Structure 1
Amino acid sequence: MTATQDFVHVFEPATRPGAPTLLLLHGTGADERDLLPLGRALSPGAALLSPRGRVSENGMNRWFRRLREGVFDVDDVVARSAELAGFVTAAARDYGLDPDRIVVSGFSNGANTGAALLLLHPRLLGGAALFAAGAPLQGREPDPVDLSGVRVFLGSGAADPVTTPDQARLLAAQLGDRGADVEAREHPGGHRLDPDVLAQARDWFDRSRF
């Protein structure tokens, strides 16, 4: 059973009464502090739970193995997602968090992992704001889980060479087909956190009232 201390992580308690918790999942090569500014921008005063990925690729932190650029080790995606789900459950208990009000946000590899959590552990999270995310279970159709009531924001780039638009749209379709309330926004750029899309995500977060 995964424990909170099994992941190097940062936890910042909420400074606003009734605020949700943001689970922040960094991209390849970053660490547990990389997305703290994103969390503060999305929901000022929210609690922030930001772990570090436990896979190392040439010294870079990741959440799961890949066989080569753009090709995931799907069995490892499944196994590492289960470890991370265990961490989230343990952290919610240890830090006194409301599991129904934990929202995952991530970029690139972290966003793919957030998508995997939604599809593989559907009752774990209350929502997601994911940037540059694609369908994480490459070549596999996810189980027909029930994601009704789960609100998801997806931000992607029309010229992204890493997470291609077809993969971003496939993820949106997979989530929507399982009942999630998906809001997808596309910017004209590449593999990055676009300021306009970030502003749209902040607006979505305010409207979602987590």
Structure 2
Amino acid sequence: MRHLFKKGRNEKAPVLLLLHGTGGTEEDLLPLASMISPESSILTVRGNVTENGMPRFFRRLAEGVFDEEDLKFRTKELHDFLDHAADEYEFDRQNIVAVGYSNGANIAGSLLFHYKGELRGAILHHPMVPLRGITLPNLENAAIFIGAGKNDPICPPQETEELESLLQGAGANVETYWGDYGHQLTQPEAEAARDWFQKYYSKS
């Protein structure tokens, strides 16, 4: 997968896995990562799927309607890539915190839904429920931040609340930030994600 890796100053800090939104690139979330954890190593990935020329992490059938088989395939593809990247760049595979926005948050959520211990934590900006009707692994060791917009036309509040409930039901520690805006990632939301991260991982 097309990606960048930047080694951080603190090897004990979680590695930040950056996952962009539709039409983004592996460079989009670098400023956000610098805000959240400036000492962390960064692994930032570009999605392998394109939609009208825009990179994505998995196909969709329509807005808000995921191609579930492709989502499952791409989730395993990303899972396998993380295994290889940990070996290549010599970082702790058990010390990854994903930072995803929109489509990137959805593939991060799918990693959590499919693989026990896949992520130490996750910052999910405007995610949807990636899949329904599956049994989630035990997530009692995972801490998850969800950033949501009260007026998000793509990800309505009930979608956020359902995802929060599913993750909590699997044992995850979930904190949700509600902004007054729509689907965009705002400065106050980014700052809330930073504060959440520092609360959980500043002693790493």
Query: TM range, normalised to the smaller chain?
Result: over 0.9
On the 8 A contact 2:11/2:41 being kept in 1, the answer is no
| Aligned twin of 2:62 | 68
On the 8 A contact 1:99/1:126 being kept in 2, the answer is no
> Counterparts of 2:100 and 2:134 in 1: how far apart (Å)?
20
| Aligned twin of 2:181 | 189
How much is the aligned-residue C-alpha RMSD, in angstroms?
Answer: 1.0
| Counterpart pick for 2:101 among 67, 91, 107 | 107
On the 8 A contact 1:22/1:103 being kept in 2, the answer is yes
Q: TM-score, normalised by structure 1?
A: 0.93
Tell me how far 1:18 sits from its aligned partner. 2.3
On the 8 A contact 2:150/2:181 being kept in 1, the answer is yes
1:50 aligns with 2:44: yes
On the 8 A contact 1:135/1:167 being kept in 2, the answer is yes
Tell me how far 1:17 sits from its aligned partner. 4.6
Unaligned segments of structure 2, at least 5 residues: none
> What one-letter code is carried by the residue in structure 2 that aligns with 1:181?
N
Tell me how far 1:163 sits from its aligned partner. 1.4
Unaligned segments of structure 1, at least 5 residues: 1-6
2:188 partner SS: helix
| Aligned twin of 1:3 | none
1:125 partner SS: coil
1:198 aligns with 2:180: no
Tell me how far 1:197 sits from its aligned partner. 1.7
Deviations for 1:75-106, whole angstroms, at most 9, x for unmatched residues?
11111000000001110111111122100011
On the 8 A contact 1:112/1:133 being kept in 2, the answer is yes
After TM superposition, the runs of 4+ consecutive aligned structure 1 residues lying more than 4 A away are none
Tell me how far 1:141 sits from its aligned partner. 2.0
Which structure 2 residues correspond to residues 3-152 of structure 1 after superposition, within 5 A? 7-137=1-131, 140-152=132-144
Deviations for 1:103-153, whole angstroms, at most 9, x for unmatched residues?
00110000011100111112211000110011011xx22314100110000
Tell me how far 1:34 sits from its aligned partner. 0.7
Deviations for 1:51-98, whole angstroms, at most 9, x for unmatched residues?
110001010000000001111111111110000000011101111111
> Counterparts of 2:159 and 2:70 in 1: how far apart (Å)?
19
1:182 partner SS: strand
Tell me how far 1:45 sits from its aligned partner. 1.3
> Counterparts of 1:32 and 1:82 in 2: how far apart (Å)?
19
> What one-letter code is carried by the residue in structure 1 that aligns with 2:38?
P
| Counterpart pick for 1:163 among 126, 150, 155 | 155
